Amino acid sequence: MDPLHIYFDEFGHFSPNQHKEGTYSHFVYCALIFQTDQDKTLFEDKAKEIIKKDFAGNFFKSNKLQHKTRMRVLEKLLDLRWRISVFVVDQKKLEGALSEFQRSFLKYFQRIFLKGLTENVNKFHIQFDKLGSEEFQRSLKDYMDQHVTKWDLFNQIRSYQMFDEKRDKNYLLAFADFFANSVGQYYCKSHYREESGAFLDRIVNRVQVTHFPYKAIYDNKLIRRSSDFDSLTANISLQIANDKLQELYEKEEKLEYQALLECLILNYKLNPNRLLSLSELTDHLLHYYPGINEDRTRTIISDLRTMGVLIISSKGRAGYKLPNTIADFDMFFKRYLDSVVPMLKRIDQSHNIVYNKSNNVIDLLNTVSNQDILKALLSVVKGA
């Protein structure tokens, strides 16, 4: 089995004084992840090609890219296998407590981020763009070796390394910076760019996002609204999903359910009217849990619905999403009614056939189990 390959960079700076103009409200880590050596090699080949053809062989500065250029580069990467993991630290929520992190901010949050990525992974390689003095780099590497890689005789295929992306010609770190900057512009509210939503919308089924602290999640002001957007319906739907995800986080259970909920919530934030197909959701889960199939994805969706999460689907439009309008529920209810009503009519038809053919001897609606419920439902259908 190939090791997991992780290339990551950050967006933003440690900002202990949130009242100072120009400070970053959020600090964002973003990792570009490959499951196999082949996936990594194919991406690296494409990265070299992009830099050669689109940037005359020069490593680009991600924060200087225009939106059109950024999207053009992204489109060239979408036929490759890779995924993104994002860790968003809301620094305003830490105000007052930041002093205890001031000297070890990067170490503290790198440890949380990287442990989450490598938990239950035996073989992995991590690369990060150099920052700070040589002394700090040594200290950071020692800290990560102690708390994340934990290299020993039984776990030798693990590493944490730092490179200078330009001097060392590390193409994959250059693209880790590309994603960190593109995604960071969405989650860092102080440096928010509306067009960054279009970038995330293209990769929504490849992204997993974790927030610290969790409650600093979604700003409804950033959600694109349609003319029929029912804000009360939307707020209820989103709050239920958030609460259930928080509950699963706290219990540290049902990780597959967490990943699917995160995908639905992120999709909702980027484009609340978009339905995610079963295959898209399954592909998203496969990035984290090999062996997942569409039947398992259906089961997770069914279980989440049983838990009270509002996940709608529509007849004639394949896919799932969190509802954001009354019309969504109308569409969802109609889908079930179009199945339930014909079934009840068939039950009534079967009863009548047996009753008549048996010369009124066999009365199924007074014989079978749940007969009271069946009678009540049939009376409603007949009266409709």
Q: Which residues partner with 28 through β-bridges?
A: 11, 88
Q: Where are the domains of the chain?
A: 4-212, 223-324, 344-383
Three-state SS at 245? helix
Percent of the chain predicted with pLDDT > 70: 91
Rounded mean pLDDT of the chain? 86
CATH class of 223-324: mainly alpha
| The pLDDT value given to residue 154 | 66
| The pLDDT value given to residue 250 | 85
Tally: H helices and E strands in the chain: 12, 8
Q: What is the pLDDT of residues 290-336, one digit of tens each?
A: 889 999 999 999 999 999 999 998 765 678 999 988 888 887 888 77
Give the closest residue to 51 by CA, choosing from 171, 165, 167.
Answer: 171
Three-state SS at 23? coil
Sheet holding 158-163, edge to edge: 158-163, 124-129, 4-11, 26-34, 83-90, 207-212
Two structure tokens written together for 14: 């440690």
Give the pLDDT band of residue 186 (cuts 50, 70, 90).
very high
State mean pLDDT over 146-168. Answer: 85
| The pLDDT value given to residue 56 | 94
Q: What is the pLDDT of residues 226-283, one digit of tens each?
A: 445 577 888 899 999 999 998 998 887 888 999 999 889 988 887 788 888 898 899 8
| The pLDDT value given to residue 217 | 36
For the whole model, what pTM was predicted?
Answer: 0.74
State mean pLDDT over 108-137. Answer: 90
Does domain 4-212 match CATH 1.10.3720.10?
Answer: no
Give the pLDDT band of residue 225 (cuts 50, 70, 90).
very low
State mean pLDDT over 139-164. Answer: 86
d(CA 14, CA 12): 7
